[in-house]
Structure 1
Amino acid sequence: MFTESEYFDEQFKDIQFSKEEVVAVHFYDCTFTNCEFSETVFDECKFTGCTFIHCDLNLMKVANSKFSQVYFMQSKLVGVNWTEAEWPRITVPSLLKFEECTLNHSTFIGVALPQSTIMNCSVKDVDFREADLTKANLRGSDFTESVFGETNLSGADLSHASNYQIDPSQNRIRQAKFMLPEALNLLYCMDIVIDED
């Protein structure tokens, strides 16, 4: 399928490429629309300025692959271990942007994603321990059963986000934005009684 080592400004539509392997291919400013990449292995690939729209990326592998300014829109990314990707050693803002996506059962442990976007997404049972989400846009997402620990959420926007369980003593939340009533979730880990009368 991908016979070239580099692709620039390509439009890929309706590709069925699940359970395949893509090795050392670099994509620059490419758009993928209605593509099926479930369980596909991207090994040592590079995605720069790319956009995925209505794509199925469930259980894809991202071993040693690089992502920079990549936008996922209305796509499925269930069960992706993002820790396997190769992330920059210096902090780079806005590496990933997810809008209206399904990210359930994924892992971002220790991944630095400052100023990234996870907006209006289903983010259930996702592990964000030790991740850097400084100034991230997390608006409107559902974080049911997701794990935060030693996570940097400084300046992050969780307006209209729901079902998060974030312990303020175990995470950095300075200048983060929350909304009532969901912000009461920040109190439940404090072993106090909240009287709602």
Structure 2
Amino acid sequence: MEYEYIEETIINKDFSNQSLSRHIYEYCTFKNCDFSNADLSECKFIETEFIGCNFSNANIAQASFQDVKCTQCKMLGLLFDKCNAFSFTIHFDQCQLNHSSFYQMKLNRSSFLNSQLESVDFTEADLKKVVLRQCNLLNATFDNTNLENADFTQSTHYAIDPETNKVKGARFSLPEVVGLLNKYNIKIK
């Protein structure tokens, strides 16, 4: 059953372990809501903002995220690669996205700022021109990933192989840029 919400503000609501499947939210704002382990499959979030929300382990299969903003959200273990790819655009700021997957996703309209991206899978994703600024990318996977003109300024702990990823025009900061040389096991002083 579909429910549609337009221009609503929802504060401190606990949706954990609930089914919100096929709900539509347009121009809504969620503050301090808990979506952990919720079923958000086939939901549509259009120009919606999430502030301080917990999405950990939520089911987002075939969910649509179109021009969505997430600030200070906990989004652990989410399979974004199972989302509806049409107009997928999310802007993350100060979010925890550890153990999430963006496998084979086209993300060039999304951005990642000041966020934890530990053990995130970007394998075969298109991150051309994406901003990944001031992010912790410890153990993040980049394999056959398009990183052309991406901005990794002040991001840390990444290990990116320029031989298996497209990095032309990408921006990196010192001293973290040595993460491009990790596979060579060389000493830099």
The normalised TM-score by structure 2 is 0.96
Residue 187 of structure 1: how far off its partner (Å): 1.2
Contact 1:138 1:161 in 2 (8 A): yes
CA distance in 1, matches of 2:170, 2:128: 9
Are 2:103 and 1:109 aligned? yes
CA distance in 1, matches of 2:72, 2:41: 24
Are 2:114 and 1:120 aligned? yes
Q: State the match for 2:162 in structure 1.
A: 168
SS of the residue corresponding to residue 179 of structure 2 reads helix
Q: Deviations over 1:39-96 (max 9, x none)?
A: 10112111110000000111111111111101000010001011111102xxx5x701
Structure 1 regions of 5+ residues with no counterpart? none
Structure 1 residue ranges, 4+ long, deviating more than 3 angstroms after superposition: none
Q: Deviations over 1:85-130 (max 9, x none)?
A: 1102xxx5x7010000000011110011103111100110111001
User: Identity of aligned pairs, percent?
Assistant: 34
Q: State the match for 1:76 in structure 2.
A: 74
Are 2:139 and 1:141 aligned? no
When the two chains are superposed, the root-mean-square deviation of aligned CA atoms in Å is 1.4
For these two proteins, the number of residue pairs brought into alignment is 189
Code of the aligned partner of 1:124: E
CA distance in 1, matches of 2:114, 2:43: 28
Are 2:174 and 1:180 aligned? yes
Q: Deviations over 1:4-60 (max 9, x none)?
A: 621111100000110111121111110000101101011211111000000011111
Of residues 12, 27, 30, the one that matches 1:14 is 12
SS of the residue corresponding to residue 164 of structure 1 reads coil
Superposed counterparts of 1:16-165, under 5 Å:
16-88=14-86, 92=87, 95-165=89-159
Residue 192 of structure 1: how far off its partner (Å): 5.5
Code of the aligned partner of 1:188: N
CA distance in 1, matches of 2:186, 2:160: 17
CA distance in 2, matches of 1:151, 1:129: 6
Contact 1:115 1:137 in 2 (8 A): no
Structure 2 regions of 5+ residues with no counterpart? none
Contact 1:151 1:171 in 2 (8 A): yes
Residue 163 of structure 1: how far off its partner (Å): 0.2
SS of the residue corresponding to residue 128 of structure 1 reads coil
CA distance in 2, matches of 1:86, 1:112: 11
